[in-house]
Structure 1
């Protein structure tokens, strides 16, 4: 358990890099530095356009968290990337998915945890349980205090960023062509987004979802708050697609029993293989390298023609 906690604390401290050109292997990334918001701290936003991008065509839009980790390993803290441009380019060329652009929303190192932790489940916790969550985060050194601001983060995406993207690019603006995805705590905020805004997002991909919320497995009140929230707020199955997965080593070793309980909730709410998928990847860890290898699966599931 000590090794898992050490790994978790290291991994969750994403580094914010200085704004610079992002080089994709395929297509281009247009970088908007310090995108202003009335709801959250300014941050960079990178918009990936495929090689076939044309204003004469219309494109689905995939919003992804931890945007600095998606396209260019030369700017990431661990020299890894998701390889989103390679993955989507191949799938588009093969005709397996619809034409899509990707909006990479950079995290801010100091506020990442607060912005990605689902706010309403946190607020449902008893006072002593909230204090336990705060202690777990504060003892890692960041942040100095903990209070989720994920509702404001989602307002930023829905009320400010999406209108900008739809006005700037040739997009399909309806729910059926608007998706959201992330890993770890980015998985948490993605499932939270589709529950809070089912009229906006038609699909969510949640890789290595950090259901513990914190870094402790024993006497952890957080997962139960997530389960209760999902039972109440999951969208109608026929209106969305939801993807989950997990590895089995390092931090991901905490996830299988928690994901199993989420899967039970999905079944109870009427989700089937048509609109929901959960995948286990034995021997895979909690890293961009692992997510890159399996990215074609959730992308095909959400974006298929």
Structure 2
């Protein structure tokens, strides 16, 4: 999706890559769940309050297990998930960075530098977004992760946090609800994972002015919740563009 005025001008725009792209624009596109982010209608009504960016919406696999594997850079041990989840996230990230992004930059008037490139997702897509921001500092400096499902992979993610660099990150948005749980994750584990990551970013030197962490009392793990938070997350990570 290109912003208003794209067709009539020569301006170049920042870009955000969004996981679960079928949920971004319209309700009729979703694969499961209650609703989309309805961004197409929201943009029509409130576009003047939103960042002028190009949105690349990446559709996920129809099968939930395939989606989980695609968005995970790690392989989950059976004792945690009940089954071996062989993460394909590293390969997926390589495809985005080395094949998709060059094509997007060639086909559209993008501001192609890392300072103007973001990655966004929710649930396991949020895990992927957080990892992408650390694994490819040459590509992504803006990250939005809503209700990230990190606990299954927390040990491995902690290893990444221990070794990664953080100085390139410009804007980070994270959130979590107090009533979220998943197929393999309790409410307490959801909160523990999100809060650990947030604290680690601060401990690693990310300025409190550059990271926003929202805790939503009573919020569940659902598209209905993410729809409400999606525009603010997008605004936050591109606020200074």
Tell me, yes or no, whether TM beats 0.5.
Answer: yes
Please say if 1:132 is aligned against 2:79: yes
Deviation at 1:92, TM superposition (A): 4.4
CA deviation after TM superposition for structure 1 residue 170, in Å: 1.2
What SS does the aligned partner of 1:235 have?
coil
The residue number in structure 1 matching 2:127 is 188
Please name the residue that 1:56 is paired with. Answer: 10
2:57 equivalent to 1:104: yes
1:188 Cα deviation after fit: 0.5
CA distance in 1: counterparts of 2:209 and 2:44, whole angstroms: 24
Unaligned runs of 5+ in 1: 1-47, 123-128, 139-144, 214-221
For 2:170, the equivalent position in structure 1 comes to 240
* 1:268 to 1:88, Cα distance in 2 relative to 1, 3 A: farther
Q: TM-score, normalised by structure 1?
A: 0.70
Q: Detail structure 1 runs of 4+ shifted over 6 Å in the superposition.
A: none
How far apart are the structure 2 equivalents of 1:258 and 1:147? 20
User: Is 1:81 paired with 2:16?
Assistant: no
Q: Given the superposition, is the C-alpha separation of residues 87 and 193 from structure 1 closer, same or farther in structure 2, using an over 3 Å criterion?
A: farther
SS at match of 2:100: helix
Q: How does 1:95-244 map to 2 (within 5 A)?
A: 97=51, 99-110=52-63, 111-119=66-74, 122=75, 130-133=77-80, 136=82, 138=83, 146-213=85-152, 222-236=153-167, 239-244=169-174
Unpaired runs of at least 5, structure 2: none
Cα gap change, 1:271 to 1:296, in 2 (>3 Å):
same
Per-residue deviation, 1:210:
0.4
Check 1:284–1:235 CA distance in 2 against 1; reply closer, same or farther (3 A cut).
same
Alpha-carbon deviation of 1:177?
A: 1.1
Structure 1 distance, partners of 2:46, 2:133, is: 24
Distance 1:161 1:198 in 2: 17
Asked if 1:273 is matched to 2:227, the reply is no
Deviations for 1:161-180, whole angstroms, at most 9, x for unmatched residues?
A: 11111111111111111100
Deviates further, 101-110 or 72-81: 72-81
